[in-house]
Amino acid sequence: MKESTCPRLCGGTFFTLVLQGLKQRTKAREHYRGERDGLSDPEVLVGLIRVINPDYKAPELNIIKSKTNEYKSCSTSTGKYFPFGNTAEMSEFARRIQTNYSSALEAMTEFVYEFLEIDTASKRDMRLAAALIELVIDDDSIEPDEEFFVIEDGSKIKKATFSDLNEVCLPALLLGIWHYAVTKRKDNKVGKQTYDNWCPPAGGGPRVYQGDIGERVRSNISRVFVPTRNLHTGHASKNSEKTIQNTLDESKKTFTAYIEKATERYNVMRLIGGKEVSLKDFFVCNTIGEKERVFADKKKIKCLYLDNPRMNTIRNMYLKQRGYDNKRTLLIGSGGCGKSLMLQHLFLEAAEDYTTTGILPIFLELRYFTQETEMLQFIVETVSSKDESFTSEEAEKALYEGRCQLLMDGFDEIDPSDIDSFLKKINSFLDRYQNVQVIITSRENEYLTGLNQFVHLYVWPFDTDQSMQLIDRILTYQNQPDERDAIVDYIGKGFLKKDGIFASNPLLLTYVSMLYPNYRRFNENHQLFYKLTYEALLSGHDDNKKPYDRVFKSVDDASQFSKVFEQFCALSYQEGVLEFDANTFEKYFNLITVHKEFENPHKMNIKNFKHDVCSTACMMYEQECDVFYIDPGFQEYLFSEYYVKADIPDMDQLLNSLKNLPYKKLLKLDALEMLYSQCEDKFKEYLLIPFLSSVFTKKDTDAFERFLGQYFDEVYICVHDKKQEVSTSAICDVEKVIYSDVENYPSSVLMNFVLKMVGEHIDYSFALHSSLVESIPENTEETGKLIATVKEIERKKIIQIENKASDLYEAIRISHKQGYDHSWITDTDQNLICFGKTVKVDSYDLCESPESFMEIANDIARQSNNTYNVFLNIENYYKQLKREQHRRRR
């Protein structure tokens, strides 16, 4: 039948819709006939009335049968046996909604569990929610600003926002609309036409619901949920209250053996390289939040997060703002961030509360899960191994009633071959035991999407306060409380300071703090630090989980991963690539070859490899579309490890790369120094000698010219007009002329390394000067002019000559002509005096036509004493290398 365009909300129409959401009847019978199943219309209405008044005493059902039908059909508003209308019960109900909403919600939640069908294939709960929402929206007698208590935390929303509801707490929705219907719509008869449209007369027979209200908004609803039943419900009868309380009190006395033994087991953590210690003495609680963070600067965070989380605060995290019961949670984090310790902490807190809550926390280590494992038996065996009283029957009862909390550690530690089985079983298990709170920890991986209806939360790295707390606890343990400032200073100003990861990752921070006595040694040997830390990250932080082998997706084991990752680091570092976007990451992945010798090379694909470097080994992390090393030192260390074992062709490839790699792409020589320290002879034989031989093995007469051509992309030369300098010095009566240098930097990082080996600064700038103004070759480019000022230094007058780029020189010249006062030296006509120029020579021209530059190269050698002396030191160093090579080969 066509529905009215103006449906009306009232107690009767609300009741009519609720009846469409009942559980399946156990007997086929006529209305009010046959055996009772507790779902008759009068029993359902009594259940709703007890939400209003928990102490309501219902008459015999046959007495209120006809009155129930009249109320449902909107033929009456009150009744002798019902508390509707202007009654004390209605006033108290309105007050309770305002002042003690949680008790009213608990009562409606019990009603839902007792009468309604929830979370089944028929979707009756979703249909009911949609129908009620659409009824409120379509009732034009309800003003848009009217407010309804339909949010789980007791907050109100306006009718105008009902169309925005997508995640619905069913008891809260029922409670809010039932409250409105019976306190604001006391005239139940306003729904008579609506009821007749939904349930048309059937000639005296039962009137069957034929409405389709709710279909329009149903697609907007993504989820309908019901909170866990609270054993302390306020609306239960006195007898049922007593039974429930007895059950709760009894539960507090059971499974105490498990609590005691599991608490002893999970109040233990093992420090890397140290002893077992009490978790409560050492653990610093991370923040967890709804968005992933690489560095936790809370001032810039725009999302929900929890400091010092507990099981109940995680569950209620979204309750106030979104009305959502967060029963299923995934805690995601990188290696060493503290996921397992966080779960142990949550377990210990819940275990302490067990005697109060009666809710049993159960810690499950998922690395033991296999395809043959059945979820219920897995839980039973875990608990019964510590407490024989926890039988399958006890487990089923506790799980069904929501008196268990499951803390599952290490989803990423399940063998990949067993993942599908786990996903199927856990989803089926949670469909059966809907009231159980579950928290699962994992590193980020592709299988997480298979966990249905889990909220993703992230374990954040430490902020400064949390880091300081951990440092203090470790130093107290080591009897070094006064070393705090020294450690903080080391992390902030030592070689670790570059990206802050060692100050924010709990594992790395623990490692650094415990190795404090070795800092002096690490300062001298960065390689040793990164070697030990790499090994710790790859396997050491799993010491608490022995026996456990890290599961890699791209390779078979950690040793294979190291071989592959070493090559990736080596090939990228030698080209100065220190961070990656999607294209560059794929480029260097495609250059990897070492996996071809493995037993299962097919496992090596870019998706698996990225997962392993970011989630399994935790050497890198993704941020937006880019991939970064957690610390550049690991790339440098693995680069050196790869080439220590490299053969001659690989060393030749390295030489060709480094010859064309400028120092400015690396800004330090740590990787080369690590390699040199491990294989000095190999480094000299295959890198330094071949690199220098192109300049120094030919005749020495033009070696300096070849040096400039080979090791610089462009050469800038200051060409001085000596005659002008002499005449101006005489006129100005100065004692000395000082030049400003034009800097030249080598084009290869290998030359920077050589500079360090001859005792120069690794970033030494070569200053080239000549006085051959008239002999500059044609294939040069003028880039600037030399102008000067007169200054007084230590009571001596000097001429300070400076180079100005051609465009800047021209601007100064024009400004001077226009009468602006400058200190530059001018002639009698106020024209700037030019003391020479700067020219640029392309290294290609130096190499292709050396004869045309021979004269100026010789003059540079005479005029540029410091630079030429450095060149001679390099030449002598090369000769030294050749002597050593000669001795090795004898």
Residue 207 lies in a domain: yes
Report yes or no on 862 lying in a domain.
no
Residues 291 and 420 in one domain: yes
54 with 198, same domain: the answer is: yes
Q: Please give the C-alpha separations between residue 189 and each of 11, 52, 131, 192, in angstroms, as whole numbers.
A: 9, 20, 20, 5
Per-residue pLDDT for 28 more than 80? no
Note the pLDDT tens digit of each residue in 855-865.
Answer: 898 999 999 98
- Structure confidence by residue, pLDDT tens digits, 302-328: 778 888 899 999 998 887 777 788 899
- Asked whether residue 538 falls in the same domain as residue 625, the answer is no
Model pTM?
Answer: 0.62
Computed on alpha carbons and rounded to an integer, the radius of gyration of the chain in Å comes to 40
Expressed as residue numbers, the domain containing 444 is: 254-459
Per-residue model confidence (pLDDT) at position 160: 92
d(CA 304, CA 306): 7
| 473 and 444, same domain (yes or no) | no
Q: State what percent of residues in the chain have pLDDT above 70.
A: 90
pLDDT, residue 546, reads 45
- The whole-angstrom separation of Cα 410 and Cα 808 is 64
Would the pLDDT of 504 be above 90? no
pLDDT band at 122 (very low <50, low <70, confident <90, very high): confident
Whether the Cβ atoms of residue 346 and residue 407 lie closer than 8 Å to each other: yes
User: CA 631 from chain center: how many Å?
Assistant: 16
More confidently predicted of 430 and 514 = 430
32 contacts 22 by C-beta, under 8 angstroms: no
pLDDT, tens only, 78-97: 766 788 887 888 888 998 89
pLDDT at 653 over 80: yes
CA–CA dist 871, 882 (Å, integer):
17
- pLDDT (0 to 100) of residue 697: 77
Q: Give me the pLDDT at residue 343, please.
A: 95
The pLDDT value recorded for residue 836 is: 93
Give the residue among 736, 735, 731 at the shortest CA–CA distance from 827: 731
| Nearest residue to 822 (alpha-carbon basis) of 835, 832, 837, 834 | 832
Q: Are 113 and 180 in a shared domain? A: yes
pLDDT for position 290: 87
β-pairing, 836-842 with 714-720?
A: antiparallel
pLDDT for 412-470, tens place per residue? 888 888 999 999 999 999 988 988 999 999 988 778 889 988 999 999 888 888 888 88
With respect to residue 881, please indicate whether it lies within any of the assigned structural domains. no
Q: Residue 134 and residue 21: Cα distance in Å, rounded?
A: 15
Q: For 334-388, how does the pLDDT look when each residue is reduced to its tens digit (9 = 90+)?
A: 777 888 999 999 999 999 989 888 899 999 999 899 999 999 999 999 999 999 9
Model confidence at 547, pLDDT cuts 50, 70, 90, reads very low
What local confidence, expressed as pLDDT, does residue 548 receive?
Answer: 41
Q: What is the pLDDT of residues 144-185, one digit of tens each?
A: 999 999 998 888 999 999 988 888 999 999 999 999 999 998
Residues 57, 144 share a domain: yes
In a domain, 873, yes or no: no
Predicted local distance difference test score (pLDDT) of residue 698 = 67
Q: What stretches of 685-811 adopt beta strand conformation (E)?
A: 714-720, 736-739, 769-770, 781-793, 796-805
Tokens 């909220």, residue located: 455
In this structure, is residue 197 part of a structural domain?
A: yes
Query: Residue 888: which pLDDT band, with cuts at 50, 70 and 90?
Result: confident
Domain end residue (candidates: 645, 678, 711): 678
Residue 864: inside a domain: no
Contact between 79 and 70 (Cβ < 8 Å): yes
Same domain as 777, residue 848: yes
How many whole angstroms separate alpha carbon 568 and alpha carbon 617?
Answer: 14
- CB neighbours (10 Å) of residue 464? 12
pLDDT band per the 50, 70, 90 thresholds, residue 549: low
Confirm whether 73 is domain-assigned: yes
3-state DSSP call for residue 738?
strand
Q: How far apart are CA 84 and CA 93, in angstroms?
A: 11
- Residue 685 in any domain: the answer is no
Residues 122 and 66 in one domain: yes
What pLDDT, on a 0 to 100 scale, did the predictor assign at position 4? 47
Q: Strands, E, within 137-273: which ranges? A: 147-148, 157-158, 167-169, 223-225, 268-270
Weakest mean pLDDT among 55-59, 404-408, 788-792, 806-810: 55-59
Q: Look at residues 225, 246, 273 and tell me which one is the last residue of a structural domain.
A: 225
User: pLDDT category, 490, cuts 50, 70, 90?
Assistant: confident
Can you give 405-427 as a three-state secondary structure string?
A: EEEEECHHHCCHHHHHHHHHHHH
Q: Cis peptide before 206, with omega less than 30 degrees from 0?
A: no
Res 30: pLDDT: 39
Q: Domain tally for the chain?
A: 5
Q: Same domain, yes or no, for 485 and 447?
A: no
Among candidate residues 228, 276, 634, 638, the one with its CA nearest the CA of residue 401: 228
Model confidence at 761: pLDDT above 60? yes
Sort 104 into a burial class: Cβ within 10 Å, 0-12 / 13-18 / 19+: buried
Is 239 a residue whose pLDDT tops 50? no
pLDDT band at 292 (very low <50, low <70, confident <90, very high): confident
What pLDDT, on a 0 to 100 scale, did the predictor assign at position 231?
41
Share of residues in the chain with pLDDT > 90 (%): 48
pLDDT confidence of residue 240: 41
Residues 739 and 836 in one domain: yes
Which run of H or E residues covers position 620? strand 620-623
Both tokens of 136, joined, read: 């409120």
Give Cα 845 distance to the centre of its chain: 52
**Domain end: 444, 459, 474, which one?**
459
Identify the CA nearest to 381 among candidates 371, 391, 372. 391
Can you give the pLDDT at residue 274? 55
72 and 118 together in one domain: yes
Residue type, 683: F
What distance in Å separates the CA atoms of residue 30 and residue 510, rounded to the nearest whole number?
Answer: 72
- pLDDT tens per residue, range 478-489: 888 888 887 877
- 524 and 573 fall within a common domain: no
pLDDT beyond 60 at 556: yes
Q: Please determine, for residue 271, whether its predicted confidence score (pLDDT) is greater than 80.
A: no
